Amino acid sequence: MPLDPVQHVAEFMPLDGPGAPVAEGLLPGGGAFPREADRRGQAMAPSETPITAPILAGPGAPPLAARGTSLVVREWTVSGPRYLHVHRSDDEAWHVLEGALRFRFAEGEVEAPAGTTVFVPAGVAHTYRVATGPCRYLVVLTPNLDRLIAKLMDRPDAARIPAILAEHDTVMAEPDP
């Protein structure tokens, strides 16, 4: 069932008061709906060396990949895992540059077209897929999630996936279809 973006976000995050987002105007009318993006289409191994200078990526630049001390930003093009999953201690965010992503949560789905940013706090079951292609998006994650995704991109045996997730404080919220 489709979710109303403002109603959906209100269930997780107040739009004002304690815990409210600092940024304003993420939606027309000043709402604060997070939106998501992610790219895994190209082999970009995570660097263990944090960057020490700003990185700028403009139109026509190669895909962005930057790893700092507490954040990693990558530009990806493919869908996330098929199964709902929960990162118990890590937040994750996406920004759709082109195309659209479709996010699935325990309580429903929402489409995130180009220009949309999605923030999923730790503890919220989620997954996403490319809805309209070609799709390009930025994913903002922690170094822990970056290492998890690198391991999963190596296509481990399905029986090992729950143990790999557990190493990174992540669990499946449903069986892998």
pLDDT at 175: 74
Cα separation, 33 vs 25, whole angstroms: 9
Cis geometry, peptide bond prior to residue 2 (ω within 30 degrees of 0): no
pLDDT at 174: 84
pLDDT at 49: 55
Asked whether residue 27 is assigned to any structural domain, the reply reads no
Band of the pLDDT at 47, cuts 50, 70, 90? very low
Asked whether residue 26 is assigned to any structural domain, the reply reads no
Asked whether residue 52 is assigned to any structural domain, the reply reads no
For 130-169, the pLDDT digits (tens) are: 999 899 999 999 999 999 999 999 988 999 999 999 999 9
pLDDT at 52: 60
pLDDT greater than 60 at residue 1:
no
For 50-86, the pLDDT digits (tens) are: 556 556 566 666 776 666 678 899 999 999 999 999 9
The tokens describing 96, both together, are 């759709």
For 80-120, the pLDDT digits (tens) are: 999 999 999 999 999 999 999 999 999 889 999 999 999 99
Asked whether residue 177 is assigned to any structural domain, the reply reads no
Asked whether residue 88 is assigned to any structural domain, the reply reads yes
Residue 126 domain boundaries: 5-17+33-44+63-172
Cα separation, 70 vs 4, whole angstroms: 31
Asked whether residue 109 is assigned to any structural domain, the reply reads yes
Taking residue 57's Cβ as centre, other Cβ atoms within 10 Å add up to: 14
Asked whether residue 155 is assigned to any structural domain, the reply reads yes
Structural domain count, the chain: 1
The tokens describing 31, both together, are 């709402």
| Choice between 172 and 60, residue whose per-residue pLDDT is larger | 172
Can you give the CATH number for the domain in which 78 is found? 2.60.120.10
For 3-31, the pLDDT digits (tens) are: 444 333 333 333 333 333 333 223 333 33
Three-state DSSP class for residue 101: strand
pLDDT at 28: 32
Asked whether residue 51 is assigned to any structural domain, the reply reads no
